[in-house]
Structure 1
Amino acid sequence: MTGGSRRRSPSRRSARPARAVLAAVLGLVALLPAGCATVPGSSDVTVLRRVGDPAEPSAPPGPARGAGPLEIVRGWILASGSTAERHSAARAFLSPATAGSWDDGASPTVVSDRVDTTFVAGSGQSPDASVRVRADKLGVLRPDGAFVADPGTVDVTVRLTQDNGVWRIADLPPGTIVRRTDLRANTRPVRIWFQAAVGGAPVAETRYLATSPARSVASRVLDELLSGPSEDLRGAALSALPAGAMLRSAVGTSADGVTTVDLTRIGPVDALDEARRTEIAQQIVLTLAGVGIDRVAPSVDGEPLVEGRTELGVGDVLAALPPVVRERPDLPSGNTASTAATPPALVVTGGRVLTVPDPSTATTNGPDLVTGVDDARSASLSPDGRDVAVVGNGLDGMRLWVGRTGAAATPSPVAGRVVSRPSWTPDGTEVWTVVDGTPVRAVRGAGGALTPVALDTAPLAGYGPPSTLRLSPDGTKVALVSGGRVLIATVIRDTGGGARLGPVRVLRPGPVGEALAGVLDVTWSQTDRLVAVGTALGRPVQVASVDGLELDSPTTTNLTPPVTAVAAAPERPTLVVDQGGLWSLPASGGDVWSSVPGGSNSSVPAYPG
């Protein structure tokens, strides 16, 4: 399915046309009881917060009799949570003329959970009033379902008029204002699967899909797939689906529970080579797996997409991948037994590279995972667990070493005053690190030795020197820490073996309380989620989605900030190091962090990769 290093034909799409999958998404669906005066001229502030009361209506039937301007605006925001019939509940708060012209399909603006409404100074006298709506802006939800971070402030004015004693909104901005918690409640994140531009390995991108109507979820998620990868993946991923491909009919389900997907406008199926058809099937099956569909019958104009296979499951498409790709933890499970043992987490402590003890047993750290490095400072296992990259400290500074697990390591030319914890590519052929503030890429030769090669990091200019980096589980992105911020960049490769960084963005900037700041270390827990640790007051451990929409903090019980190092992986405990030593939190979460024996406040943990 993937073969060697190759780049897709330029005819395969990397840009997506505009689509209106979430054309009428969401509004604010929670409101505090009235704390503002509802008479014209009041300057009190009403704060909209999530109440969490399941009995609270998601959309009121319409304006209450005698409602004042502030109540009308609050009601419009509340009613915008109902998208039924193009926000008909919200339109009830508008004047007849405005209700007919309001553009509710514009891209929703996503804001933090606090939204303030106040009268504009000097406003509120009949027959006109103006209400100011303010909130911290996180970004926008594009019509294709992708969230694009665009921090700032929402500050809009809604004008109202009074007719025969009844207040209605006469002028308002297009689109809706959506709080983050309401977006969570009304959409589901779905991974859309594409192909790496070089090598062809699966690459996922998160889109937010409206949860209703449920009957059309499968068709809508395939619309996202057909639209191609976003600008964020430009140069890193492409689609095997030809431009213009579309669904020939609605996605259906056969009597025996198989989901039928019939495509058209991709030319005769026999005109596509077997590899191309297999790649298309891979994208379809992996994408539908994200919405709970595990048996798919893909076809083109009624003919089976893959010759001789009328039905495919996740296990079938995974079996066609090379073993090193098939075992990636970010891929959907094919419910087939893995042939590879799960490599352990490691920890560097006291100058040694050791296995992290299993908290469910009485095991100790065991023997050194690698020898020959007198003063190890950090390390990472290769994805398959067979090799170890180690940063050792010596009289001439730090140096990167590499060797087989359980054997002596060999020094590499990668050296400097400070060398950060190494990070492996998913196929185990490269090791990346930061040397004295500059990202460095080293390729493994036939004998396993590391050789530094070119890496274009020009897009990092202006952000300050990074102190650490981690490659994503699929290898298409890199996260770096610079000046307490997390930077995200796409990794763009060419068929000649070169690599460069794409455009760089700061992950989750914004005001205090909404920003990801004070970061000392970062790692990937999934391809679309990171864990950052550091000095943030009350939030020394934070979990962020790669698009910047989500930012959450797990429990801090038992931790003593600052937290200096972190390791995470799918379905595995999160490991952190604080001033008291090494701690573990189960993948399922928990109320307290548990101490891991053998750690210290200078330990550095790592999962393979």
Structure 2
Amino acid sequence: MRRTGLVAVLALVALLLAGCATVPGSSDVSVLRRVGDPAEPSAPPGPARGAGPLEIVRGWILASGATAERHSAARAFLTPAAAGGWDDGASPTVVSDRVDTVFVQGNGRSEEAVVRIRADKLGTLRPDGAFVAAPGLVDLTVNLTATNGVWRISGLPPGTIVRRADLRANTRPVRIWFLASVGGAPVGETRYLATSPARSVSSRVLDELLSGPSDDLRGAALSALPPGALLRSAVGTTPDGATTVDLTRVGPVDSLDAGRRAEIAQQIVLTLAGVGVDRVALTVDGAPLLAGRGELGVADVLAGLPPTVRERRDLPSDGPAAAAPAAPAPAVVVTGGRVLTVPEDLTDTRATTPDLVTGVDDARSASLAPDGRDVAVVGYENGVMRLFVGRSGAAVTPTGIVGRVVTRPSWTPDGAEVWTVVDGVPVRAIRPPGPGGTLTPVALDTAQLTGLGPPATLRLSPDGTKVALVADGRVVIATVVRDPGGGARLGPVRVLRPGPVGEALGGVLDVAWAQTDRLVAVGTAPGLPVQIASVDGLELDSPTTTNLTPPVTAVAAASERPVLVVDQGGLWSLPPTGGDVWSSVPGGANSSVPSYPG
């Protein structure tokens, strides 16, 4: 978490004093800060005896994150009339952890006061728990009244203001699982589920599934559950411990083909796995959804997916009894014009690896396909950059994709397509099935990127539904929308975490997906050369910078793999669990370009 320094606080005070003649010179400023362990109580205490107007407003904000009993904790800071009329059902406004309060009228010594609230807005939380980024500034006032010396809020706008810290303390992120609009592979979306009451967690997470994908996935994902589908009864438990889910308004079971029923089961089982449910007894209007399958677990669902899909690391685990996954394909680094694999032991100074490919003399970047069998390489040929492709460990062949600048390639999850940026224009190329097929450029509608500047980096998400680009030092997230005919376009586009210094992603030079919902961005931001952001824009953190010499020019990341970055001193790694220092990777240079498969 970052805190603005005292200079910013004093500047705000000066601005308020200069710009509002009604603010008396003796007005106090109260600053809310997140203190201590993030596991804060979900139900903060009520108003303290003798609390003044600023403390009452602060308490209301701190309590607004606790949703239990229609925000009863927050209502305790309101007068009875205000508590009865307050509309707490509007989408909560999520702000940074610092909130400023200042008197606009009164000073706590009379019986009336008006307090101004200012904070950096991050976005809003939809009723279904999806966070919608909408950076801006919260600037509003609340009225307070003192009765027999007891201050309470008597007038306030609809909705709640929730600090990011309080959202973390009172909700848990869960993955809601939908289906790719083409191909039907699982697509997860993060929602924030209130932790209280605990007894209804399973029902509430299914309600969010039934609400369908958010606008952020429009065109990229869909649900096998029809609009209007509901839970017929509360989620329960069988005598042997399985969770019971009975749906209605889905239609007669006999009217659903086997594929549709399997997709519904997949969505429900994977979603409930995120809240600790390992077995589900699934029915529709009391009849089993899958004949002869009284209970389903994650292993059953994964077994029905293609091998290339069920091995994705973003999917729920099917438990400790699952077979050990195959060893992941290695990371690749291009150094000195050569394409090399990164040694498994990143600290072994004696480790050497042979060239991964032949056929290109001056490589500049490369990426392995997700299964590690194929490799795409960007290198120079006759003075221009060209994309090459071939089998790992063999000679690559040139493609027709050439330009003055061709960026590091990125593969779709199935290994059928390679995406890159050629002279500032995103390019999509398809390879026919089987070994040795050449890449053929195909149309990619990028009209949604107009006005954002030419992209300098492009990386497809591990599930293939989004693409992260770097344009004018900003991270841009675009949804990949496909059609059954094989076409693709970039759908909804947004800049990830714009805003004030310390709360924004700026000066970015490269980006990589650590998970389907998390990215690592590197660049020139002062004091923040490496930043980790959630794809919805809610979270933004920075790991240690010890041993790094900014600017950081390149990054590679993957689920449960060390983060690799390149700075002015060479190639460095940080364990997936984090750490206090970055470790030097032997053989790296300040011109190296690393990548993980994908």
TM-score w.r.t. the length of structure 1 is 0.91
Q: Contact between 2:467 and 2:480, CA under 8 Å: does it hold in 1? A: yes
Deviation at 1:123, TM superposition (A): 6.4
Distance (whole Å) between structure 1 residues aligned to residue 299 and residue 425 of structure 2:
41
Partner of 1:284: 268
Q: Residue 3 of structure 2 corresponds to which residue in structure 1?
A: none
CA distance in 1, matches of 2:212, 2:38: 38
**1:134-149 matches, cutoff 5 A:** 134-149=118-133
Identify the residue that residue 19 of structure 2 maps to in structure 1: none
Question: Which residue of 2 is the match for residue 159 of structure 1?
Answer: 143
The answer to whether the Cα contact below 8 Å between 1:41 and 1:125 also exists between their aligned partners in 2 is no
1:420 to 381, 404, 407: 407
Runs of 5+ consecutive residues of structure 1 not aligned to the other structure: 1-34
Deviation of the 1:135 alpha carbon: 0.5
Q: Does 1:606 align with 2:595?
A: yes
Structure 1 residues 421 and 178: alpha-carbon distance in aligned structure 2, compared to 1, 3 A threshold? same
Out of 277, 298, 302, the residue aligned to residue 286 of structure 2 is 302
Higher mean alpha-carbon deviation, 352-361 vs 184-193, is at 352-361
1:427 and 1:272 mapped to 2: Cα distance? 28
SS at match of 2:581: coil
SS at match of 1:317: helix
CA shift, 1:41, in A, is 7.3
Report deviation, 1:125.
6.3
Which one of 541, 547, 552 corresponds to residue 552 of structure 1? 541
1:174-229: CA deviation from partner (whole Å, max 9, x where unpaired)? 12111111111111111111011111111111100011111111111111111111
Assess, with a 3 A threshold, how the Cα gap between structure 1 residues 304 and 54 changes in structure 2: closer, same or farther.
closer
Matched, 1:188 2:177: no
Instruction: Note if contact 2:481-2:490 (Cα within 8 Å) is conserved in structure 1.
Output: yes
Q: Which one-letter code corresponds to 2:204 in the other structure? A: R
Contact 1:351–1:377 (CA under 8 A) maintained in structure 2:
yes
Q: Deviations over 1:450-506 (max 9, x none)?
A: 011100000000000000100001101000000100000000111111110002100
Provide the residue aligned with 1:397 in structure 2.
384
- 1:346 has 2:335 as partner: no
| Separation (CA, whole Å) in 2 of partners of 1:598 and 1:359 | 13
Cα displacement (A) at 1:42: 3.6
1:497 equivalent among 482, 486, 489: 486
Contact kept, 8 Å, 1:188 with 1:209, in 2: the verdict is yes
What does residue 511 of structure 2 align with?
A: 522
Counterpart of 2:6? Answer: none
Cα offset, 1:283, TM superposition: 0.5
1:380 equivalent in structure 2: 367
Report the Cα offset of residue 395 of structure 1.
2.9
SS in 2 for 1:156: strand
Counting only pairs closer than 5 Å after superposition, residues 5-404 of structure 1 correspond to structure 2 as 42-52=26-36, 61-120=45-104, 126-335=110-319, 336-337=322-323, 340-359=326-345, 362=348, 364-404=351-391
Q: 1:322-358 CA distances to partner (integer Å, 9 max, x unpaired)?
A: 1121222221223432674411111111111111012
CA distance in 2, matches of 1:58, 1:343: 43
The 3 A distance-change label for structure 1 pair 360 and 251 is same
* Whole-Å separation in 2 of the counterparts to 1:307 and 1:59: 45
> Offset at 1:313?
1.3
Q: Does 1:580 align with 2:569?
A: yes
Q: Distance in 2 between matches of 1:322 and 1:554?
A: 36
Say which SS state the counterpart of residue 117 (structure 1) adopts.
Answer: strand
**Residue 120 of structure 1: SS of its match in structure 2?**
strand
Matched, 1:590 2:579: yes
How far residue 61 of structure 1 moved from its aligned partner, in angstroms, is 4.8
CA distance in 1, matches of 2:560, 2:325: 18
Q: 1:13 matched to which residue of 2?
A: none
Contact kept? 1:348, 1:378, Cα under 8 Å: yes
* 1:83 to partner: Cα distance: 3.1
**Superposed CA offset, 1:230-264 (max 9, x none):** 11111111101122211111112223221111111
What does residue 476 of structure 2 align with? 487
Cα distance in structure 1, aligned partners of 2:294 and 2:193? 28
Candidates 441, 444, 455, aligned match of 2:428: 441
For 1:534, the equivalent position in structure 2 comes to: 523
Structure 2 Cα separation of the partners of residues 138 and 57 of structure 1: 22
| Alignment partners' CA distance in 2, 1:445 and 1:57 | 56
Count residues with an aligned counterpart. Answer: 573
Q: Secondary structure at the match of 1:114?
A: strand
SS of 2:455's equivalent? coil
Contact 2:347 2:585 in 1 (8 A): no
Q: Helix, strand or coil for the counterpart of 2:364? A: strand
* Residues 80-113 of structure 1: per-residue CA shift (max 9 Å, x gap): 3443332233223222211110112221111011
Report SS of the residue matched to 1:371: coil
Question: C-alpha distance in 1, partners of 2:66/2:48?
Answer: 17
Q: Which moved more, 1:246-255 or 1:357-366?
A: 357-366
Distance 2:232 2:40 in 1: 42
Hey, what's the Cα distance between the residues in 2 that align with 1:80 and 1:589? 32
Q: What is the CA–CA distance in structure 2 between the aligned matches of 1:75 and 1:433, rounded to whole Å? A: 50
Distance between the aligned counterparts of 1:134 and 1:91, measured in 2? 21
Report the CA distance shift for 1:187/1:479 in structure 2 as closer, same or farther (over 3 A).
same
- Post-superposition shift, 1:582? 0.7
C-alpha change, 1:408 and 1:82, in structure 2 (3 Å) is: closer
SS in structure 2 at match of 1:368: coil
Answering whether residue 448 of structure 2 is matched by residue 459 of structure 1, we say: yes
The answer to whether the Cα contact below 8 Å between 2:121 and 2:136 also exists between their aligned partners in 1 is: yes
Change in Cα spacing, 1:56 to 1:220, as seen in structure 2 (3 Å) is closer
Instruction: Please say which of residues 558-567 and 93-102 is displaced more in the overlay.
Output: 93-102
One-letter amino acid matched to 2:528: R
Aligned AA for 1:326?
Answer: R
Measure the CA separation in 2 of the matches of 1:476 and 1:293: 26
Partner residue in 2 for 1:32: none
From the superposition, tell whether residues 55 and 239 of structure 1 become closer, same or farther in structure 2 (CA, over 3 Å). closer
TM-score, length of structure 2 as denominator length? 0.92
SS at match of 1:298: strand
Change (3 A) 1:54 1:186: closer
Amino acid of the structure 2 residue aligned with 1:389: A
* Deviation string, structure 1 residues 10-45 (Cα, Å, up to 9, x no partner): xxxxxxxxxxxxxxxxxxxxxxxxx99xx9974121
- Give the % identical residues: 81
1:518/1:534 contact within 8 Å kept: yes
Amino acid at match of 2:340: L
Deviations 1:145-188 (A, max 9, x none): 00001111111101112334333211111121111111111111
Residue 52 of structure 1 aligns to a residue whose secondary structure is coil
The corresponding residue for 2:419 is 432
Distance in 2 (alpha carbons) for counterparts of 1:526 and 1:265? 35
Equivalent-residue separation in structure 2 for 1:196 and 1:54 (angstroms): 35
Q: CA deviation at 1:68?
A: 2.6
The answer as to whether partners of 2:42 and 2:169 remain within 8 angstroms in 1 is: no
The alpha carbon displacement at 1:438 in A equals 0.3
